[in-house]
A and B are shown apart, each in its own frame.
Chain A
Amino acid sequence: MTSGLSGTAGELLFAVRGAGVRYDGVVALEGCDLEITAGERVAVIGPSGAGKSTLIALLNGMVAPTDGTVTALGCDLARAPARTARKVRRQIGTIYQHFDLVEELRVVHNVNAGRLGAWPFWRAALSLVRPSGVGEVRGALERVGIPEKLDARTSTLSGGQKQRVAVAKVLVQQPRAILADEPIASLDPRLGGEVIDLLTEISADLGTTLVTSLHDVTMALGRFERVVALRAGRIEFDRPPGAVSSGDIEDLYAAVEPAS
Chain B
Amino acid sequence: MTETLRRQASEPVELREAASGAVPTASSRRAARLWGAALLVVVVASVVAASWTAGPLLRPEGFSLVGNFLGAALRPATDVAFLQLIASAAVTTVAYAVLGTVLSLVLGLVGGVLSSEVWWLAGRHERARRRGAAGWAMVRGVLVLPRAIHEVIWGLIFLSVLGLTPLVAVLAIGIPFGAVTAKVFAELLDETPRRAYTAALASGTPRLTALLYTLMPAAWSDLLSYGFYRFECAIRSAAILGLIGAGGLGFQLALSLQTLNYPEVWTALYALILLSAATDLWSSAVRRRRASGAGASDRVIGGSLVAGAVLVVGALWWVQLDLAVLVAGDTWQLVLQILEDAWPPGLGGATVLGLLQAALITVAMSVLAIVIAFAGASALAFPGAAGTALSPGRWLVVLVTRGFLIVLRALPPPVWALLFLFVMAPGVLPGAMALGVYTLGVLGRLMTESVENLDRRPQEAMRAHGVPRPTVFCYAVVPAAAPRFVAFGLYRWEVTIRETVVVGVVGAGGLGLVLNQQLAAFDYSAAVTTLGVIVLLTAMVDATSAGVRRSLR
Real binding pair: yes
Interface residues of A (CB under 8 A from B): 60-62, 64, 78, 82, 85-94, 96, 98, 100-105, 109, 113-114, 116-117, 119, 121, 124-125, 128, 173, 175
Chain B nearest CB, measured from A153 CB (Å): 9
Q: Are A98 and B195 also in contact (CB < 8 A) when A109-B213, A119-B209, A125-B212 are?
A: yes
| Residues of A close to B126: CB separation below 8 A | 64
Quick check: B205 and A117 within 8 Å, CB to CB?
yes
**Alpha-carbon distance between A124 and B217 when the two chains are bound, in angstroms:** 14
B38 contacts the other chain (Cβ, under 8 Å)? no
| Residues of B close to A117: CB separation below 8 A | 203-206
Chain B nearest CB, measured from A90 CB (Å): 4
| Residues of A close to B210: CB separation below 8 A | 116
Quick check: A60 and B202 within 8 Å, CB to CB?
yes
| Residues of B close to A86: CB separation below 8 A | 204-206
| Residues of A close to B201: CB separation below 8 A | 62, 89
Chain B nearest CB, measured from A148 CB (Å): 21
| Residues of A close to B198: CB separation below 8 A | 62
B327 contacts the other chain (Cβ, under 8 Å)? no
- By beta carbon, the residue of chain B nearest A122 is B209
| Residues of B close to A91: CB separation below 8 A | 204
B199 contacts the other chain (Cβ, under 8 Å)? yes
Chain B nearest CB, measured from A157 CB (Å): 15
**Alpha-carbon distance between A194 and B267 when the two chains are bound, in angstroms:** 73
B200 contacts the other chain (Cβ, under 8 Å)? yes
**Which of chain B's residues 358-382 have a Cβ closer than 8 Å to chain A?**
none
Quick check: A92 and B199 within 8 Å, CB to CB?
no
Chain A nearest CB, measured from B38 CB (Å): 39
B214 contacts the other chain (Cβ, under 8 Å)? yes
A-B residue pairs in contact (CB < 8 Å), sample of 11: A60-B203, A61-B202, A64-B126, A86-B206, A89-B202, A90-B203, A113-B214, A116-B205, A116-B210, A119-B209, A125-B212
**Alpha-carbon distance between A65 and B212 when the two chains are bound, in angstroms:** 29
B218 contacts the other chain (Cβ, under 8 Å)? yes
Specify the main secondary structure of chain A where it touches its partner.
mixed
**Alpha-carbon distance between A128 and B217 when the two chains are bound, in angstroms:** 10
What count of chain B residues pass the 8 Å CB interface test?
A: 23
- By beta carbon, the residue of chain A nearest B218 is A104
Which of A85, A88, A117, A175 has the most chain B CB within a 10 Å cutoff?
A: A117
Quick check: A116 and B200 within 8 Å, CB to CB?
yes
Chain B nearest CB, measured from A55 CB (Å): 14
**Which of chain B's residues 199-241 have a Cβ closer than 8 Å to chain A?**
199-206, 208-210, 212-214, 217-218
| Residues of A close to B125: CB separation below 8 A | 64, 78
Chain A nearest CB, measured from B414 CB (Å): 43
Quick check: B203 and A102 within 8 Å, CB to CB?
no
Q: Are A89 and B204 also in contact (CB < 8 A) when A64-B125, A98-B195 are?
A: yes
Q: Are A100 and B206 also in contact (CB < 8 A) when A62-B123, A62-B201, A128-B213 are?
A: no
Chain B nearest CB, measured from A162 CB (Å): 12
- By beta carbon, the residue of chain A nearest B124 is A82
**Alpha-carbon distance between A115 and B201 when the two chains are bound, in angstroms:** 11
Q: Which of A85, A101, A125, A128 interacts with B196 by CB under 8 Å? A: A101
Quick check: B217 and A105 within 8 Å, CB to CB?
yes
Q: Which of B195, B202, B208, B212 interacts with A128 by CB under 8 Å? A: B212
| Residues of A close to B128: CB separation below 8 A | 82
Q: Which of B202, B208, B214, B218 interacts with A62 by CB under 8 Å? A: B202
| Residues of A close to B123: CB separation below 8 A | 62
Specify the main secondary structure of chain B where it touches its partner.
helix
Chain A nearest CB, measured from B367 CB (Å): 44
| Residues of B close to A119: CB separation below 8 A | 209
| Residues of A close to B202: CB separation below 8 A | 60-62, 89, 92, 94
Chain B nearest CB, measured from A104 CB (Å): 4
- By beta carbon, the residue of chain B nearest A100 is B199
**Alpha-carbon distance between A60 and B203 when the two chains are bound, in angstroms:** 8
**Alpha-carbon distance between A61 and B200 when the two chains are bound, in angstroms:** 13
Quick check: A114 and B203 within 8 Å, CB to CB?
yes
Given A100-B199, A116-B203, A117-B204, 17 more contacts at CB 8 Å? A87-B204, A89-B204, A90-B204, A92-B203, A92-B204, A96-B199, A103-B218, A105-B217, A113-B200, A113-B205, A113-B213, A116-B209, A121-B209, A121-B212, A125-B212, A128-B213, A175-B203
**Alpha-carbon distance between A82 and B208 when the two chains are bound, in angstroms:** 14
**Alpha-carbon distance between A124 and B202 when the two chains are bound, in angstroms:** 17
| Residues of A close to B214: CB separation below 8 A | 102, 113
Quick check: B195 and A88 within 8 Å, CB to CB?
no
**Alpha-carbon distance between A91 and B195 when the two chains are bound, in angstroms:** 20
| Residues of B close to A96: CB separation below 8 A | 195, 199
**Alpha-carbon distance between A62 and B201 when the two chains are bound, in angstroms:** 8
**Alpha-carbon distance between A243 and B208 when the two chains are bound, in angstroms:** 47
Quick check: A121 and B206 within 8 Å, CB to CB?
yes
Which of B123, B201, B203, B205 has the most chain A CB within a 10 Å cutoff?
A: B203
| Residues of A close to B203: CB separation below 8 A | 60, 89-90, 92-94, 114, 116-117, 173, 175
| Residues of A close to B200: CB separation below 8 A | 113, 116
Mask of B120-140 contacts with A, CB within 8 angstroms, 1/0: 000101101000000000000
Chain A nearest CB, measured from B297 CB (Å): 10
**Which of chain B's residues 167-206 have a Cβ closer than 8 Å to chain A?**
195-196, 198-206
Q: Are A104 and B217 also in contact (CB < 8 A) when A62-B198, A78-B125, A116-B200 are?
A: yes
**Alpha-carbon distance between A68 and B196 when the two chains are bound, in angstroms:** 29
Which of B196, B204, B205 has the most chain A CB within a 10 Å cutoff?
A: B204
Mask of B78-91 contacts with A, CB within 8 angstroms, 1/0: 00000000000000
**Alpha-carbon distance between A128 and B203 when the two chains are bound, in angstroms:** 19
Quick check: A102 and B218 within 8 Å, CB to CB?
yes
Chain A nearest CB, measured from B296 CB (Å): 11
Quick check: A116 and B213 within 8 Å, CB to CB?
yes
**Alpha-carbon distance between A121 and B206 when the two chains are bound, in angstroms:** 8
Chain A nearest CB, measured from B219 CB (Å): 9
**Alpha-carbon distance between A213 and B316 when the two chains are bound, in angstroms:** 57
**Which of chain B's residues 104-155 have a Cβ closer than 8 Å to chain A?**
123, 125-126, 128
Quick check: B204 and A88 within 8 Å, CB to CB?
yes
Quick check: B208 and A121 within 8 Å, CB to CB?
yes
Q: Which 5 A-B pairs have the closest CB atoms?
A: A89-B204, A117-B204, A90-B204, A104-B217, A100-B199
Q: Are A124 and B196 also in contact (CB < 8 A) when A78-B125, A104-B217 are?
A: no
Quick check: A124 and B213 within 8 Å, CB to CB?
yes
